[in-house]
Amino acid sequence: MHAPPIRGVRHVVLAGAISQVIQTSKMIHRHLLTALVTLLGAQAVFAQAPMDAPRRLEVLFLGDDAGHKPLERYRVLKQVLGPKGINLTFVEDLSNITRENLDLYDALLVYANHEEEKAPEAIFQWVKDGGGLVALHSACGNFHPSKEWFDLVTLELAAHEVEPLLGGMEIPAGAVKRD
């Protein structure tokens, strides 16, 4: 059973996470790495109230079984982020995206291409109520032609070229915050 979500996280634990991701999987897309920085930075956003001890961040990872291989990305992120205080739970079935289930998590990470015309309604109100949404790369290709979804993630992805992430990528100064 998951701990109830707390919208505050005291410590941002990022040291070494980015380099471990690059070493673990050289085929992670540049967009996934950018999203990883976003997800890790979300800890700072959740830091709204002081806490006696830091609590692990609970993230629901919505994937699918399509070409972007979200399950493989999930495994890499779980291996790297687990020791940093971030728990990830993977689901593919949209029936798991209910308000009751979302309330068990601090953030919903979407890295999938679900072709349904409508996004699960629970997402919109949950985000309005303070739930965190991390829409990674292919998440912009979900739920055609749902204007509400595209407004939430701010763009609609038509297509992109495939460019593997190779080692030697530099992380911009200020992209990672440490205590």
pLDDT (tens digit, 9 = 90+) per residue, 83-93?
999 999 999 88
Hey, CA dihedral for 160, 114, 24, 39, is it positive or negative?
positive
C-alpha to C-alpha distance for 105 and 6, rounded to whole angstroms = 9
Residues 6+ apart with CB under 8 A from 96: 60, 62
CATH top class, domain 17-153: alpha beta
pLDDT (tens digit, 9 = 90+) per residue, 133-146?
888 876 676 777 67
| pLDDT band at 105; cut points 50, 70, 90 | very high
C-alpha to C-alpha distance for 31 and 53, rounded to whole angstroms = 32
C-alpha to C-alpha distance for 25 and 16, rounded to whole angstroms = 15
Enter the tokens of residue 18.
């980015």
Residue 107's SS3 state is: strand
The torsion defined by the Cα of 38, 40, 41 and 47, in degrees rounded to 10, comes to 140
Domain ranges for the chain: 17-153
Pairing of strands 57-62, 132-135: unpaired
pTM above 0.75, yes or no: no
